[in-house]
Amino acid sequence: MANTTNTNVINGGDLPGLLVSARQDAIFAGYESSIYLPGQIMTIHDVPAGSVTAQIPKFSAVATSSVETEAHNASTGAQISELDLVNVSNAGVDVTAQTYAARGLLKDLGGMNAANIGTVLGRAVSEKFDEDVATLFASAGSSAGTTNTALTIDKLATAAQKVRANKFSGQLWAVLHPSQVEDILQDLAGADFAGSEAMNEAMRDGMVGRLFGMNILQSASVSDDGTDYTGCVWAENAFGIAMFKGLDVEFQRNSAAVGVDIVASLHSKAALVDANRACKIISAV
């Protein structure tokens, strides 16, 4: 008698085998879907294992003294005094770990592929995290744009310069809702920008890319209040992410459900560290 194999049945005892593919796919999908978790546009502060609270640092600016190059002042004949001693203070932001988790059941019979479930769960966790980060934009120190009005390119310039007016130069990051980006794309498609590099890029790639020294990204996680979207532009260290434990996946046999529980989780907390380094961008829904 020939041996037969039912390929629709999951071997619940092979948890390590399930873990490899599902964990890899969940982590990849989670970090690929999030614009914040990779740590490129917001600084991530790793927290020691076992901690529940953490402080994201914010260092104060200090005054600078002007002194003669030489140790002796030729005009007065007096010795130059030492520089004033100024202590650098840390007015950090205290945060408490927040857990993001999504659970799925991989049935023994007729269940989905473990890797596919891992992908769905990893993406769900990161999307929820991104949504919570975007709620911080409303507390930015300054504002550009007009309520119940479409976003225009000149408002992006205003937002960027409001951040730079607080003595923050260098690279800026902006995150906008796709509908806000649509407003900008339509602006770029107008006669005022005909033949420009910005127009060509917008028409070719459907992206704004970079304007006024800002790297502009779009995310559906940007929140609205029913009337307006609230995007944001910021300088380095305006926001911080305390990472208590990165995205991970765990398994457990669930005999009562005749399957395997798969749980993707993330332990992290984002905070607005310095409101003066950020400017919210408001436009109509």
Sign of CA dihedral 22, 24, 28, 34: positive
* Residue 264: strand pairing partners: 102, 249
Contact 260, 118 (CB under 8 A): no
* Residue 224: strand pairing partners: 229
The more confidently predicted of residues 45 and 71 is 45
The CA distance from 270 to 59, in Å, is 18
- The third-level CATH classification (topology) of the domain covering 12-58+86-136+241-271 is Major capsid protein gp5 fold (3.30.2400)
Which whole number is the average pLDDT over 244-255? 90
* Residue 267 scores a pLDDT above 90: yes
In tens, the pLDDT along 157-177 reads 999 999 999 988 788 999 999
| Distances in whole angstroms, Cα of residue 226 to Cα of each of 25, 147, 149, 170, 284 | 35, 11, 13, 34, 9
What is the model's pTM? 0.81
* Residue 97 scores a pLDDT above 70: yes
In tens, the pLDDT along 125-147 reads 999 999 999 999 999 999 999 99
Which whole number is the average pLDDT over 176-193? 83
- What pLDDT does 108 receive? 81
Confidence band (pLDDT; 50, 70, 90) for 91? confident
Confidence band (pLDDT; 50, 70, 90) for 179? very high
Confidence band (pLDDT; 50, 70, 90) for 203? low
Residues in the chain: 285
* Residue 5 scores a pLDDT above 60: no
CATH for 141-237 is 3.30.2320
Which whole number is the average pLDDT over 56-82? 63
Confidence band (pLDDT; 50, 70, 90) for 12? very low
Which whole number is the average pLDDT over 217-244? 94
Which whole number is the average pLDDT over 68-85? 57
Domain ranges of the chain: 12-58+86-136+241-271, 141-237
The percent of residues in the chain predicted with pLDDT above 90, rounded, is: 52
Nearest to 10 by CA among 102, 104, 117, 114: 114
Mean pLDDT score of the chain: 83
- What pLDDT does 211 receive? 86
Which whole number is the average pLDDT over 246-258? 89
- What pLDDT does 246 receive? 94
269's enclosing H/E stretch is strand 259-272
- What pLDDT does 81 receive? 58
Residue 61 DSSP SS3: coil
